[in-house]
Amino acid sequence: MELKEQLSILKQKINDMELPYLRISLTNTCNADCAFCHNEGQVDNDVSTEKLNNEELSLIADFFKANFSRVIFTGGEPLLSPFLYDAIKIYKSFGYNVGLTTNGIRLDEITQKKLMDVGLDTINISINSLEKAQYEAFFKVDKLDLVLKNLESLPKYFSSKNIKLNFVVTELTDFSSEVEGFSVLSKQKGFVVSVLFDLKETDTSGFTKTLKEKLFQLYGYPKEEQIIKDKRVTYLLVYKNGGIWEFDDYRTNENKFNLKNNSVCRVCTLKDDCQEGAYALRLYFDGTFRLCLRKNDNTLSIRCNGNGKL
């Protein structure tokens, strides 16, 4: 099958799955070793040196602009990629809303200004703990103080409503010590604490219940807003003295069905154990597209043929 035909089939699957946005992993190199990291589904021993170049990034941006209006750059750690700033400028030039997911270690004030200057729209910082020992257990590096220092200057360059702290809940999370610290940080800076769950966890209802109970004990009833976007249901809980907490409840039974009710997911042999559903189209630094994290037989590798076409 020729590449053009494969790309046509890929677009059909994107439309059928209603994938809402594009995730581009610019590198598989990282300066941390997070216990919960799925590395965008990449194989651990993938040390390919074949990186997407600016021409290919431009062609991909143009090719998918009818499918997507949003792109998020990931890794590895995207701030380790020398192509990040060019990539942001390229996708902004095609009208995309551009986001970044980072561990925040290299997000110093100079970098923040550079990211603002090239037009970055949103930033998600993965930070699972404000307790030093617990942070090191999650990330395998002693960088919590540096990350917190970087967060101090971030509102100078980006609106707080466009900054999220990705709080990934795992079986190691100690709610009794973490909730108050994240609430104070959210209240002081205006950051949203986005509650996510380790994809290895198949039942997150207990975690959600415990976390919400702890928040209620500390801050009382929140103002709650339900947001339905990209077929996913998100609850925004705003506490008077406890900051802003976001719960992505896509693992409820109803949402789980909705996110798998398409021709691709319905016939998938792994659908019963899938904790993500139709989430995003992933593009790796080596030019490989992937429709989901679980399956390895639904990838498509493309590279520019040197004449300005894919």
On whether residue 304 sits in a domain, the answer given is no
Residue 71 resides in a domain: yes
Instruction: Count the domains in the chain.
Output: 1
Note whether residue 309 is domain-resident.
no
Q: How far apart are CA 74 and CA 70, in angstroms?
A: 13
299 domain residue, yes or no: no
Residue 134, in any domain of the structure: yes
Residues paired with residue 225 on neighbouring β-strands, in sequence order: 236
Domain that holds residue 80: 3-42+49-292
Residue 251 lies in a domain: yes
- Burial of residue 241 (CB within 10 Å: 0-12, 13-18, 19+) is exposed
Classify 213 as helix, strand or coil. helix
List the strands of the sheet with 97-102, edge to edge: 223-229, 232-239, 243-248, 192-197, 163-169, 122-126, 97-102, 70-74, 22-25, 281-283, 288-290, 299-301
Run of H or E residues at 71: strand 70-74
In this prediction, residue 45 carries a pLDDT of 45
Gap between the Cα atoms of 249 and 204, Å rounded: 9
What is the tally of helices (H) and strands (E) in the chain? 10, 12
Q: Which DSSP category does 141 fall into?
A: S
**φ, ψ for residue 102, nearest 5 deg:** -140, 160
**Residues 33, 139: Cα–Cα separation, whole Å:** 5
Closest of 44, 105, 38, 55 to residue 280, by C-alpha: 38
Walk along the chain (310 residues) and give the pLDDT tens digit of each residue: 566 777 788 888 888 888 889 999 998 889 888 877 765 555 444 445 567 889 889 989 999 999 999 999 998 899 999 999 999 999 999 999 999 999 999 999 999 999 999 999 999 999 989 999 999 988 999 999 999 999 999 999 999 999 999 998 877 788 788 999 999 999 999 999 999 876 565 556 677 888 899 999 999 999 999 887 766 778 899 999 999 999 876 655 556 667 777 888 888 887 777 767 778 899 988 888 888 877 666 778 776 555 455 5
CATH at 162: 3.20.20.70
Beta bridge partners of 71: 22, 98
Q: Is residue 148 part of a domain?
A: yes
The candidate with the shortest Cα–Cα distance to 284, out of 57, 97, 18, is 57
pTM score: 0.89
Tokens of 81: 């990629």
Q: What are phi and psi of 209, to 5 degrees?
A: -60, -45
- Residue 217 in any domain: the answer is yes
Burial class (CB in 10 A: 0-12, 13-18, 19+), 217: exposed
SS3 letters across 215-283 = HHHHHCCCEEEEEEECCEEEEEEEECCCEEEEEECCCCHHHHHHHHCCHHHHCCCCHHHCCCCCCCEEE
Q: Is the peptide bond before 220 cis (omega within 30 degrees of 0)?
A: no
Calculate the CA 46 to chain-centre distance.
21
